Copies of this chain bind each other. A is one copy, B any other.
C-alpha cells in the first residue's frame, strides 16, 4: 500500500501565506489560535492520520462491515482507532467550547478533514456524520436537547446520523413517507424506513443519535411539510447514560462499490420515540444547516483522496523503471529509466498536482470566509463572507469531487496493471471517491443550486463576491509583464465565465430548461476559473517569497510557479470547450422524444 504523508508544507502555505491563518487570532473568539498552536494541531493530526488511520484503510476495505441481527461490526482496528481519535480530542475540534468543543477555526479544521479523508475516508465518515448532526442540532435544537446530547456527541462518546433518504426518494425529499405522531408528552412516535444512512448502526459508540426527517399529521404537501426529529438509539437515563432501547433498528447494510468500512444502513423506525428539532414543518431549514457543512466536507473528500492518489502515483513513478526516456537514457546504471522521465507520465502527475493544490487553495478560501462570517466584528465583512461561502459551496462540492475522482483514476493509470490490483491500494481510491460525486446532493444538483439559486440570489450580490475581486485583480495586474503568462489565461477564462453567466441568466429566464442544460458545464467553467485565480494569487506569493530570498525554501516556491504554468497551459483550456457547450444551448437534448433515446 502506498504511504501517506500529510502535505503540511502546502497546508501551511495555503493557511498562512495565501490566506489569513497567521492573523486568525486577531478575530474575537480565536484569541488562542496563534500560528504556533495551529501548527501543533496540524502536526498532531498528521500523526494520527499517518500512523493510526492510514494503516487500517486497506484492511478496512477488504474486511468491510458485517451485519447480523441488527448488529453492525466495523472492521478490525476501527474501535481502537476511534478510541484514540476521541482521546486526542479530534471529534471536538470544530465544536463550540460551551459543549466541550475546542472551537478551532474552519481554516484549521478543513486541513484536518483533508488528512482524515486521505488516510481513511471510511473511518472519517463516522465522526463526519456526527459533526453534521452536531451542526444541525446546535443551530436549531431547543436548549434542553442541546445540553443533553451535544456534550456526548462532541466528546465522541455518542455519534450522530442524518436520516433523510427513503427508498423512493432522495433528491426529492418532498415525497418522504416517514411519519411523526405527537404523543402529547412533548415526544413523538416516529415510523418509517430510511436508506443510505451512513453510520446508522455500528460498534464504535455506546449510543447513536439519529436526526430524522419525518412528516407530522398536519403536514402540508411536499418539502414544506417536513420536520426534523432527534431519535436516540438508546433513550438516555436520568443521569444521561444510555437507557432502554428505542424503537429503531438497522435492517441491513448495503454492499457498495467503496467506502466499505463505512456502514451504510437501512434504518427501520417503528414508533421510535423522538423529539422535534426546530419548528414544525421547518425541517428542511435545519437539514440545510447540516447539508452546507457536509457539502464542503464532501468536496474535501475529493481533495483528500486525489492527494493520496497523487502521493502514491508519484512514489511509484520515481521507483518503477521501465523503458528509456524518448530523448536518451537518463539512468544508465539500471536496465531502464524511472517512468517519471516520460512526458505522458508527467502530464498525468502534474494534472493531479495542479488540480489538487488548486483545490486545497479553494478550500482554504472558503474556510477563511467561514471564519470571517462567524467571527469578524464588522457585519459587512460577515455578510460578504457569508455570500461567498454560499456561492462557492456547490462549486467546492461538485468540482472538487470531480477533480478528485479524476485524480484517483490518473493514479491507477500511472501504476499500469498494478494499479488494477487491490493489494496496491490505488484502485480503492477510485472506488472510495466515486460516492462523493453522488451523496449530499449529486453533482448535477449542485450545478442546479449554482445556476438556479446562488446565481440569482440577492440580485446577483453573491455572484459579485467572486466577480469583483477577480476583476479587480485583473485590473491591477494588467501591466505586469512578468505575470502575463498567468494573468492572460485567467482573463480569457474569466471573460468566458462572464459571458456564459449572462447567457445562462438570460436564456434561463425565458426557459428554465436552458439553465438546467448549461448547469454542469457552467459549474465546471466557474470552478476552473476560480482555481486559475487562486493559482495567480499563489504565483504572486511565490514570486514575492523568492524575491525576499525564500528562506531556504526556493524549490517549493519554484514548484508553485511551474505548477501554475502547467495549470494554465494544460488544464484551464477546458474552459473553452465548456464555454462552447454552454453557448450551444439545450435544444439538442430537449428535442429528443422519449422513444428516440
Contacts and interface: CB of A to CB of B under 8 A. Distances in A.
Nearest to A485: B588
A336 interface: yes
B421 A256 contact: yes
Contacts of A346: 517, 589-590, 592
Given A175-B335, A314-B597, A443-B413, A430 B562 contact: no
Contacts of A594: 318, 340
A573 B566 contact: no
Nearest to A326: B512
A448 interface: yes
B596 A584 contact: no
Interface string A563-597: 00110011001111100110011101111111111
B343 A417 contact: no
Given A586-B343, A588-B570, A592-B350, A438 B417 contact: yes
A438 B577 CA distance: 27
Contacts of A412: 257, 434, 438
B589 A343 contact: yes
Q: Tell which of A421, A447, A577 has the most Cβ of chain B within 10 Å.
A: A577
Contacts of A409: 434
Contact of A513 (B196, B326, B520, B588): B326
Contact of A520 (B344, B349, B562): B344
A383 interface: no
Q: Could you tell me the dominant secondary structure of chain A's interface residues?
A: helix
Given A169-B322, A438-B419, A327 B513 contact: yes
B343 A559 contact: no
A322 B169 CA distance: 7
A438 B422 contact: no
A309 interface: no
Contacts of A157: none
Interface string A405-446: 000010011001101111100010011001101110011100
A448 B344 contact: yes
A326 B516 contact: yes
A581 B350 CA distance: 13
B257 A422 contact: yes
A478 interface: no
A347 interface: yes
A255 to B, nearest CB: 5
A172 interface: yes
Contacts of A516: 326, 342-344
Contacts of A196: 417
Given A255-B421, A327-B511, A565 B588 contact: yes
Given A340-B594, A344-B519, A590-B346, A442 B421 contact: no
A592 B559 contact: yes
Contacts of A597: 314, 340, 349-350, 353, 559
Contacts of A327: 511-513
A562 B254 CA distance: 39
A453 to B, nearest CB: 13
A555 interface: yes
A170 interface: yes
Given A171-B322, A326-B512, A430 B335 contact: no
A473 to B, nearest CB: 22
Interface in A144-201: 165, 169-172, 175, 196
A346 B593 CA distance: 11
Contacts of A17: none
B570 A584 contact: yes
A345 interface: yes
Contacts of A417: 165, 170, 196, 438-439
Q: Tell which of A515, A580, A591 has the most Cβ of chain B within 10 Å.
A: A580
Contact of A257 (B413, B430, B569): B430
A573 B347 CA distance: 21
Contacts of A502: none
Q: Tell which of A255, A559, A570 has the most Cβ of chain B within 10 Å.
A: A570
A10 interface: no
A322 B171 CA distance: 7
A323 interface: yes
B517 A322 contact: no
A147 to B, nearest CB: 34
A270 interface: no
Contacts of A595: 555
A585 B566 CA distance: 10
Given A347-B589, A409-B434, A569-B585, 9 more contacts: A256-B420, A343-B517, A344-B517, A417-B438, A420-B438, A555-B593, A569-B581, A573-B580, A573-B581
7 contacts: A254-B421, A327-B512, A343-B519, A349-B597, A350-B597, A420-B434, A566-B588
